[in-house]
Structure formats: structure tokens, C-alpha cells
Chain A
Amino acid sequence: MKILVPVKRVVDYNVKVRVKADQTGVETANVKMSMNPFDEIAVEEAVRLKEAGIATEVIAVSCGLLSCQETLRTALAIGADRAILVETDVELQPLAVAKLLAAVFKKESPDLVILGKQAIDDDSNQTGQMLGALLGRPQATFASKVVIEGGAAQVTREVDGGLETIKITLPAIVTTDLRLNEPRYVTLPNIMKAKKKPLENVKPADLGVDVTPRLKTLKVTEPPKRSAGVKVPDVATLVAKLKNEAKVI
């Protein structure tokens, strides 16, 4: 069984994001970048399936700038077998990424695609679903457990108010939630090995995909600054403030 794992390069979770002065986006120059945490969980899950003898090959794919190679190297260090970079400097939106992934899917014919439920930079939560639709294949989003049986995946999903378990026929798309697994630390020997694993570079045109953005960003702004708290002398004042100023009770 072959697994395709799309991974996105994003600003590190711990970096305090700054908006560019011209309000066209967020500052990424000289900023620590890492693999989207949900994608890391996806790579970990795929590698575990391989280590359990269920999967035979794990292919990581990333779309974007040449520097996404570093993110792919991380996926290879976790244990992916090879990697594909779809290189472009065009700003990629979820539909374009889904189309690129669909094209890679058609080329590679994997049995399973595991990817993050969303990326922590744009929080779109669209790519997995769009990919399922484009391919006409079943999807299970927000997975907290994945069991492969025969030609199907039994996936436990985190839904409002509890867990839902569904069974989908492979090939299928699974998007990961936080509790699916805890990704491993990568060790230096595995990083060294990763440097020798194959990394293929293709362009959107090679895949016949038009990635021109369809959405236009008008403006990016900082959230309003939190105003300082106030101390109240007693409960009565607190209640009065909650009633009259905050109007929450």
C-alpha cells in the first residue's frame, strides 16, 4: 500500500507573527519556518503504518517555494521514503494546492492520502475536502484513529460532542486531528539518511495545473490590542461592570 502525505511549510507555531508594514501579508523573511503541526502528525501516522507492515511506501509532497525542500527533508527524516516538490513562487490557495495534489495522485496512484486537517497559517481547512471532491474519492476528516482493514480505512473522527467512527473504501483521503498521534523526535542519523533519499522537483505546468490565485487579499491587519485589565474593589462593582459595561449578564 502506497501513502501520499502532503506537507506545508508554515511559520513556526511559537513565532509571534507580525503583519507586513504594507498590510499585504505576514512577515516571513528571517522567520523560523517549520512543518505544519497537523502535517507532522500525518507523516508520523503514515510512517507508523509502514513500520507496522501495512504500508509499503510513504511519499511526502509539498507545494510552494524551493525552501519547502527543508520541510520535505524533515518528512524524510521522520521516515518517508521519497519526496516530491511542486515548485512555484505563485501564492498558492487551497483549490490550487488540491488540484496539484490531485495531479500528483493521478501520477502516483496511492491507496491513501493523509494530510493535516488545516494549516496553522491560513486555517482554511479546505485542501483535504477539495482533494476528495476533485478525485471523487471518500474522505474522513479530523481523524483521531486510523485502522486499515482489507481495502478500507476505519477512521475515528473528532466531531462536536464526541467521536464518530466511519469506514471508507480505499483509495481515500484522511485529514488528521491533534490526538491522532504524537510525532517522534528526529535523530541525526535519520536526518543524514534523509539527505540521501530521492527528492523530485516538478513544476505546476509539468502537472498541467493552472495555479493562478482566484481570491484576492485586500488587507491583512493585526488583531486589536487587548486593553489592560482593571482591578475592582468588590463583587458588587464586578457585577455592576459585567452588567452595564461588558453587558454579558
Chain B
Amino acid sequence: MSDLKTAFAAIVGESNVITGDFAAYANDWRKKYFGKPLLVVKPGTVEEVAALVKLCAETKTPIVPQAGNTGLVGGGVPDESGTEVIISVARMTKVLEVDTINNTMTVEAGCILQTLQETAAEHDRLFPLSLAAEGSCRIGGNISTNAGGVQVLRYGNTRELVMGLEVVLPSGEIWNGLRGLRKDNTGYDLKHLFIGAEGTLGIITKAVLKLFPAPRSTQTVFIGLESPQKAMDLLGFMKGALGDRITAFELISDFGLSLVTKYFPQLKAPLPPAFPWFVLSDIADSRDAAALTADVEAALGEAIEQGIILDCAIAKNETEGNRMWELRENMTESQVHEGRSIKHDVSIPISKIADFIKAADAALEKAYPGVRPITFGHVGDGNLHYNVAHPLASFTEPNWTKELDRVNLIVHDATAQFNGSISAEHGIGQLKREEIKRYKSALELQVMKNIKAAIDPQNIMNPGKVI
């Protein structure tokens, strides 16, 4: 170990090799995994990353690539063997170029997502990737998890926002695919292999990202409605009335909202708690704000008349819009306060979401009477965070955790029944590695293994994750 440490230090400098206090790197955000790395190294350039990886390849040292360490499936943390080296890109935070004509920006993998959003805004552009962890997660991690977030409905997943990549391969070679081309049909599109690979195929060091015109105005609305089916009806209705100006469409159950207002009493609910379901939506436009608000009011007024929605609060300024979003952004944290719930991140064909919720609710209630599903998520793109809190009468928090596998099975089988996916956006990591075997065909898994073996024959790049 001390040899390796010395060799690493020779590449990145003594102060960028961490040998003690690993907590910030070795434990995941949800405090589910407590890994034991050999070392943490923080390179500052792609050349340093390449040199580190080359050294690891020579010594067969397993590598865990890491960015902001906010991942939710244990993909960015090491195992407990004490043999894995975390290579963190957190020091690589340069924005190399912003091209407002090509509408792209070229950045290093360690850039914090929020910084990139701000950089785009300074150039009167939009970088649309947005998620609750944006103040801490880094673009290399976002790309490696193909992160989704709240604007997928209009702008797509991270995959749609990446135009080029620079990657250090498990051999230590640097692949420069930093192309800013919207059209490039020249064989296999390699960048797509690394997007969403969760660090199993190489270390992403730079990316060319897509920019969009900055919306002039955003109107946020908070809607009360009767059922998930009505929410789906509303989505169809709004798409018709407002077109692709809808940038976010989030479903929130009354129970989910009540937990936020319970643990964050300073956050006020925009509507009385009398409604069973809520939708939080953003509609954005590059036209005049007043015209946009008028369109939204007209459309939702019609939705009330048609009985699709029950009530609706319209943010009268951006501060109020931000406060509405704070409710949504604190949902995950409020559930931590209520006691650990069993979480799912499923994707369902949009037209089947309401049926899925019914089926999953019923199957769970049958197995665990009094169970409390916390249903919310980016339903505009078919994604539900279907979390399950323990029945108060029959379970306590600690013995509920023991039901994890059985609850997962019930919910994921319901997902499969509707042709859904058991991991919509958080990935596989260590958390779902065994489980996907149940839901993916043997052929599909074999092709994935073949790809992994072709690029990382020594299996040193984030071993034990995904496959």
C-alpha cells in the first residue's frame, strides 16, 4: 500500500492522496453503504487520471470512480475489502468553453451541476439538467448515472444533453470524443456506452454539453386533484393546451406532502390539505411572462370546468414558485425523519401509471395491512418514486427494514406486470445488481457482460457494480 501511495503521490501530489478520514468518500448519501477504500486520490487533469489508471491496471488495483457522491444505489462507494482506490474527479472543475453559437459548453467532469446551470445562465442559455442534489452532484456523476431529474419531460435525460465525451479507459488510454456535433453517423456511437455505465467502463474526464435558449419566464402551478388517473388526464390536457412549454410535471400524494409540512413547518402548502393528490408543474416560455401566465390560467381554468382538477394555486412571482418547489425538494428528506421507508424508483408507460399505483397499493395492502405508500415522482416522463412507509400498528422502523426484499419484490413485480423498469433513473450500482437478473433477459445480461469484458478485461473499473 505504501508503494502505491508513493506512486500516486508522485502523480497528483501528496496533498491529493487521502489516507485517513474516508467518511465523505466511502459512505454513500443514504448511509446505506460504509465502504473501506485503500486510498482516495484526487487528480487535477486528464493526464493525471490516465497515469493513475495505468498504474492501477499494472497493479490490478480496483478503481471506484467518484464525482459528488450523491448517488443512491451505492455505485460510487467502494466495498469493504480495503483494496479499492477511489478516484475522485472533484478537483477537475474547469469550464473550458461556452459556445453560444453551437449552443454547447465543454466542461471538466468535476463541475458541480449547479455551477454549470449558473454558467449557462450567465451566457443567457439554459442547461436544463436539474435535480434536488444539484448543489453537490457533479457532471461526471450525472453522466455516469444518466441522471434524469425534473425537466426530462421537455429536455430529456442526461443522455440527450451530452454531445461528446473524453474518457480514460481501464487501460489508462485517453479516448477523446469531445465532438460538438449534432449529426455524426460514423459507426458505433461510443459515448452512449459510457453514459449511464456507472463508472464500470472508464472514467469520464470531460464532456461537451448541449445548451438551450434561456426561457424568459417560468410559471409554477400547484394543483389539487382527485386521483393519479386525473393527473394523467391533466398531463394529456396540458400537452394539448400548452404544447412543449411544460417543463416539469410532478405527482405528489397527500401523505407525501403532509410529511414535508410536518418536518419542515416553515414550508406552507399552497393548497388546503383536503385534496388527495397534487401536481406541481412548471410551464416555461421564451415569450413575455404575462402572456404565458394568461395561457396557463386559461388552460387550467378549462381543466377546472371539465372536472379534471379540483383547485390550483398559481405562483404570483418567482419566489412563490421556488417555495412550491422547496416542498418537492424536501420530500426525500422528510421521509428520513419519519423513519426509513422502502424506496423504489420505477418507470411505467405513462398511460399505465394510475393502474400501476392501484395494483401496487393493493398488493402491498394485502401483504401488510395499514402500509403507507408515499407516492411521488416525475410522472410527466413515467417515473415514480414509489416509497413505502411501515404500517404503524404492526411494524416499527427497524423491523420494517427487514421486509425490504419482500416489499421490493411486490413492487417490482407490479412494475414488470405493466412493462416498466425497476430503475428509472438512479441506476443499478450495488443495490439492484442481483435484482435486475430477475427482470432482464439472459441474453440482454450476456451482451452487457460481453461489452464490459471487451473494454475492461481485467475487471478493475468499478468491479461489482451493475453486473
Contacts and interface: CB of A to CB of B under 8 A. Distances in A.
> Do A and B make up one complex?
yes
Interface of A: 12-16, 30-35, 37, 40, 67, 70, 74, 77, 182, 185-189, 191-192
B289 interface: yes
Contact of A14 (B288, B304, B311, B318): B318
A32 B316 contact: no
A33 B293 CA distance: 11
A187 B319 contact: no
A12 B318 contact: yes
A186 B317 contact: no
Given A14-B317, A34-B316, A185 B216 contact: no
A191 B289 contact: no
B93 to A, nearest CB: 13
Which 9 residue pairs of A and B lie closest in terms of their CB atoms, listed nearest first?
Answer: A34-B317, A14-B318, A185-B313, A188-B312, A185-B270, A32-B289, A32-B217, A12-B318, A187-B313
Given A14-B319, A32-B289, A188 B217 contact: no
Interface in B284-313: 288-290, 297, 300-301, 304, 311-313
Given A32-B216, A185-B222, A187-B313, 18 more contacts: A13-B319, A14-B317, A14-B319, A15-B318, A32-B289, A32-B317, A37-B319, A67-B290, A182-B268, A185-B270, A185-B314, A185-B316, A185-B320, A186-B313, A186-B314, A188-B301, A188-B311, A191-B314
Contacts of B217: 32
A186 B324 CA distance: 13
Interface of B: 121, 216-217, 222, 268, 270-271, 288-290, 297, 300-301, 304, 311-320, 322
B378 to A, nearest CB: 23
A19 to B, nearest CB: 15
B311 A185 contact: no
Given A67-B290, A185-B270, A188-B300, A35 B316 contact: yes
Determine the main DSSP class of A at the interface with B.
Answer: mixed
B318 A187 contact: no
Given A37-B319, A70-B290, A187 B271 contact: yes
A186 B216 contact: no
A188 B304 contact: yes
Contacts of A16: 121
26 contacts: A12-B318, A13-B317, A14-B317, A14-B322, A32-B217, A32-B289, A32-B317, A33-B290, A34-B316, A34-B318, A35-B316, A40-B317, A70-B290, A74-B316, A77-B316, A185-B270, A185-B271, A185-B313, A185-B314, A185-B315, A185-B320, A186-B313, A188-B304, A188-B312, A189-B304, A191-B314
Contacts of A74: 316
A190 to B, nearest CB: 9
A189 B317 contact: no
Residue with the highest number of chain B CB atoms closer than 10 Å, among A14, A32, A182: A32
Contacts of B222: 185
Contacts of B312: 187-188
A70 B289 CA distance: 11
A189 B318 CA distance: 20
Nearest to B292: A32
Contacts of B288: 30
A32 B319 CA distance: 12
B314 A187 contact: yes
Nearest to A67: B290
B296 to A, nearest CB: 9
A30 B288 CA distance: 5
A77 to B, nearest CB: 8
A153 B297 CA distance: 38
A186 B271 contact: no
B67 to A, nearest CB: 22
Residue with the highest number of chain B CB atoms closer than 10 Å, among A14, A37, A74, A192: A14
A188 B270 contact: no
B438 to A, nearest CB: 45
B125 to A, nearest CB: 14
A106 to B, nearest CB: 30
Nearest to B288: A30
Contacts of B271: 185, 187
Contacts of B319: 12-14, 37
A34 B313 CA distance: 16
A189 B311 contact: yes
Contacts of A12: 317-319
B8 to A, nearest CB: 23
Residue with the highest number of chain A CB atoms closer than 10 Å, among B300, B301, B322: B301
A192 B302 CA distance: 11
Contacts of A192: 297, 301
B318 A32 contact: yes
Contact of A35 (B290, B300, B313, B317): B317
A40 B318 CA distance: 13
